[in-house]
Structure 1
């Protein structure tokens, strides 16, 4: 778990210890990203250093040309002036070449880092457990992959080269100024005092504002994504006006924080210009008096003025870098927080292979709780023999889906073990686990692509004949053939071209093609009409004959194909028996069945 809070919840009120840990975490991530680029980084740094030195040599060469070259020309000696001209031209050519070189190198480094980081975020979030994805909204994940990575991209594209080049240029400029005229160097040193105070003022205030800006940006994205994703509910409940007000408030917050950032620049940039102009004026006035006294040559004065002015030139670029740096730093904190998340259902250190599972499931002393005061499933034992079809029934919130998620190992039990053929699921090889146990949920999610591609998700190497056979088995073949391009029809994102019931049938075909030893159906027939449900049940009776099946359903018609019924209430199994025995009894299931039968009349 990261220090940012429960599953990536974004905060602004970090303690000092948390802030230090966040910085260390971000530095670790940045170091791991830069490590593969070390050779290119050193080459880029060398190019920047040499190009900065070449540029900084310009005023000194001009001073030499004025103080040495012009008097020599009076005496018909053109060599010093020619030397100064050639030297100035050479430093300009070298500087221009090296600038082009490090721009290309830095661009390659930046793109390599971005590809690495983007891939890490995608792969890592795939590996994280269901608990993370159920609590970390999709909008925040999208924000990590979009606005946060864009902030880092902007920094890598220009910011870092601006910083290093600016720093090197300032160092060489100050050094050259001290060498040619220590007095002017002292003036610059005095100017650094108010410059440091102003810069520190800017940094302290901008750091919190940039962090708020990233949070406000993420909140905008989250609201937009969730509204677009839930558009059916938005329009069904006429919540457009409320969303408009909420989104408008978020936009106002984002505008406000950015206006405050711009307010800081409105103070910092003019203050920077004032300090720089004052330093140039002081250098010119003091140097002028010394030129009159004969203590300073005119060329050196010109060079000193140029150096003083040039020293402050990169400062505005560096202020803009700090703008990008704060945004990128805040983005890196959030991304590193996601990458630091550990799966709550980790892969085993020494996995046990189970290449062909029989399907014997056991719950031994299992208890599940989110927190100590919130026990979802009190301690229980349960044995499901291989090949048995078991129906889980009960009121909403009885714990049926939680039990199924433990069996699919979306969660691990708080205590006890869940076994498959005697092997603890926590020790089972992940590939064997996913091959042996498949869960079909009510959501029936389809990905962009063809119908055949979606069915083949259960077995990527499946032939077309196998895909068709799976569709026929669950009664999906007829409607698929009626689609514009049959099995090659693009379902569009989330299955927009097929109905809810058709999506469910495709997800059934996908699961059956996977041929698991244990099949879990969680309200999987809820989207089907009665004729479709009967058709699927006919296919289920054939397809479930040789595998263990756990069926969760509110529709008691689905229970008819079960060998065994478990009735759950408040996380406990209160009845266990065959459908006929329980219907003939006087317990909870008999009452549920009678009420369902009456509803059909």
Structure 2
């Protein structure tokens, strides 16, 4: 687990060693993003160096024009002043042209970096195992793709440009000032001492505040996304008032952090202005006496004053950009933390191919725990023969869904092995695994697009006739055909155009079209009404005949189609037999069946 991974994502109290590791990780990520753009970066650096040099040349040319051009002009010699004026004009034009070129180059670099980073985050979040997504909230993932990437965009578009141009500008000004008059240069060096102290003070305090600001922003997004995603539950339980208070508290925290950031700038910006004005005053005071004594030309004094004044201009800009820099740094830390996450279910190094799976599943000495202090399956052994339909029943928390997740390889066992046709799932090629084993959950998630598109997810190259045949097999064709545009009807966001039961039927059609060797139904009929459930059961008896099927259901009517029933309690199989045998007995399943039958009376 990375330093700012799932468990430590919202932390701000990092130790020095953790902070160093985070910085190294962020710099490594930034380096990998810029490496393919190295030629463009080098060209941009060359352009900005020459552009800054041309801009800095202005005051020196003014000094030459005053000290040499004006005396020559008084003697009717226009040459020196004309040359200086021409040089000033040329450097101004070249500086402007190069700045425009640099702006285009830097924009192309920043956009290329953002595209690369956005794609990496998306692909990484898809690649990570189910364990990550069950503990890392969707709001936080969305925050990585939205506010965090926006912060990095601001840094690339404005912050880095201001930083590079500011550093070069100050460096060239320092060189030019020492070249013109080393005494004025010394005054500038002395001014650097309070400037360094003020900047360091600002940096140490703002770094922590900007990280807190990113955390507060992420919490706001998480709360908003979770509320909107669960708006039905919000309305059903009338929790708008409580949510409003919680969101208001989060907003107040965010406001408080930003207020403290503004207070920092309220000290930093005036401090920069004060140091700059004092430096200009000292240069003017010392230079004035030297001009009177003949030790310094008036043009050089004017150039020294201009250089001293201009030296502090980038500092004010860099202070304004420091906000985006700190925000982007905190954002890059979080994004790099996500990108550093390793899948808890990694792809095999040397995958084993299984082109035609028969469907025999075995649990061999399997132990599994989501956390070290909570073991779900203790020393579990089980064989599911190919072609057999197995029903898993038991109380909530017995381990049924965990068993299904292990068969689907959403998780790997802590100890032991789960095999398909004798091949450990950890060694099986991912494509063969996903083709051989399909799990249909209670959620029945539909993606934006047509009904046909959603069914075809099970087999992307399926023909329209195959899609219709799959829908007919599960009893979904009739209601689909009755939709406004039939199979071309857009299901809208998350399938909002169809009912929960209809979404479940579409997900069945999707799974059956995939034609897996092992089909897992995890509470997959819970959203169906009784007529729909009976219709699906009739289809299931035909469609599950030639494949291994695992049915997890609380509705015991669904269990009737099973060849074998496994009753689970506390991660163990306590009963194993046919439905009729278990019903006629006196065990746990007979009690569950009796209670279910009584509930129908």
In the alignment, what sits opposite 2:491?
491
Q: Give the 3-state SS of the residue equivalent to 1:524 in structure 2.
A: coil
In the alignment, what sits opposite 2:598?
598
Is the Cα contact below 8 Å between 1:364 and 1:382 reproduced in 2?
yes
Is the Cα contact below 8 Å between 2:5 and 2:341 reproduced in 1?
no
In the alignment, what sits opposite 2:322?
322
Structure 1 segment 236-315 matched on structure 2, within 5 A = 236-315=236-315
In the alignment, what sits opposite 1:560?
560
In the alignment, what sits opposite 1:100?
100
Cα drift, residue 7 of structure 1: 4.8
Q: Give the 3-state SS of the residue equivalent to 2:160 in structure 1.
A: helix
In the alignment, what sits opposite 2:113?
113
In the alignment, what sits opposite 2:123?
123
Cα drift, residue 372 of structure 1: 3.0
Cα drift, residue 371 of structure 1: 2.8
CA deviation string 1:68-117 (max 9, x = no partner): 00111111211110110011011111101110011000000000000000
Is the Cα contact below 8 Å between 1:33 and 1:117 reproduced in 2?
yes
Q: 2-side partners of 1:173 and 1:372: how far apart?
A: 61
In the alignment, what sits opposite 1:453?
453
- Structure 1 alignment gaps of length 5 or more: none
Structure 1 segment 421-500 matched on structure 2, within 5 A = 421-500=421-500
Q: Give the 3-state SS of the residue equivalent to 1:561 in structure 2.
A: coil
Is the Cα contact below 8 Å between 1:366 and 1:416 reproduced in 2?
yes
Q: Give the 3-state SS of the residue equivalent to 2:320 in structure 1.
A: helix
Cα drift, residue 5 of structure 1: 4.5
In the alignment, what sits opposite 2:511?
511
Q: 1-side partners of 2:16 and 2:197: how far apart?
A: 23
Q: 2-side partners of 1:8 and 1:552: how far apart?
A: 35
Is 1:178 aligned with 2:175?
no
Cα drift, residue 135 of structure 1: 0.2
Is the Cα contact below 8 Å between 2:377 and 2:571 reproduced in 1?
yes
- Structure 2 alignment gaps of length 5 or more: none
Q: 1-side partners of 2:6 and 2:187: how far apart?
A: 53
Q: 2-side partners of 1:60 and 1:591: how far apart?
A: 97
Q: Give the 3-state SS of the residue equivalent to 2:14 in structure 1.
A: coil
Q: 1-side partners of 2:64 and 2:129: how far apart?
A: 69
Q: Give the 3-state SS of the residue equivalent to 1:576 in structure 2.
A: strand
Q: 2-side partners of 1:507 and 1:222: how far apart?
A: 28
Q: 2-side partners of 1:10 and 1:420: how far apart?
A: 40
Aligned length: 601
Distance 1:8 1:133, change over 3 A: farther
Q: 2-side partners of 1:4 and 1:301: how far apart?
A: 54
Cα drift, residue 322 of structure 1: 1.3
Is the Cα contact below 8 Å between 1:110 and 1:153 reproduced in 2?
yes
Q: 2-side partners of 1:5 and 1:154: how far apart?
A: 25
Q: 2-side partners of 1:38 and 1:62: how far apart?
A: 37
Structure 1 segment 335-346 matched on structure 2, within 5 A = 335-346=335-346
Q: 1-side partners of 2:143 and 2:239: how far apart?
A: 24
RMSD: 0.7
Q: 1-side partners of 2:429 and 2:385: how far apart?
A: 21
In the alignment, what sits opposite 1:234?
234
Is the Cα contact below 8 Å between 1:8 and 1:338 reproduced in 2?
no
Cα drift, residue 338 of structure 1: 0.3
Q: 1-side partners of 2:324 and 2:373: how far apart?
A: 45
Q: 1-side partners of 2:178 and 2:284: how far apart?
A: 15
CA deviation string 1:491-512 (max 9, x = no partner): 1111100000000000000000
Structure 1 segment 87-166 matched on structure 2, within 5 A = 87-166=87-166
- TM-score, normalised to structure 2's length? 0.99
Is the Cα contact below 8 Å between 1:389 and 1:548 reproduced in 2?
yes
Q: 1-side partners of 2:260 and 2:599: how far apart?
A: 63
Q: 2-side partners of 1:372 and 1:281: how far apart?
A: 68
CA deviation string 1:409-443 (max 9, x = no partner): 00000010000000000000000000000000000
Is the Cα contact below 8 Å between 2:130 and 2:410 reproduced in 1?
yes
Is the Cα contact below 8 Å between 1:8 and 1:337 reproduced in 2?
no
Q: 1-side partners of 2:171 and 2:373: how far apart?
A: 61
Q: 2-side partners of 1:583 and 1:292: how far apart?
A: 114
Q: Give the 3-state SS of the residue equivalent to 1:277 in structure 2.
A: helix
CA deviation string 1:30-66 (max 9, x = no partner): 1100101100101000111111111111100000000
Structure 1 segment 6-17 matched on structure 2, within 5 A = 6-7=6-7, 9-17=9-17
Q: Give the 3-state SS of the residue equivalent to 1:472 in structure 2.
A: helix
In the alignment, what sits opposite 1:67?
67
Cα drift, residue 586 of structure 1: 1.1
Cα drift, residue 597 of structure 1: 1.3
Q: Give the 3-state SS of the residue equivalent to 2:376 in structure 1.
A: strand
In the alignment, what sits opposite 1:218?
218
Cα drift, residue 9 of structure 1: 2.9
Q: 1-side partners of 2:340 and 2:492: how far apart?
A: 34
In the alignment, what sits opposite 2:520?
520
Structure 1 segment 34-53 matched on structure 2, within 5 A = 34-53=34-53
Q: 2-side partners of 1:9 and 1:266: how far apart?
A: 30
Is the Cα contact below 8 Å between 1:439 and 1:520 reproduced in 2?
yes
Cα drift, residue 8 of structure 1: 5.5
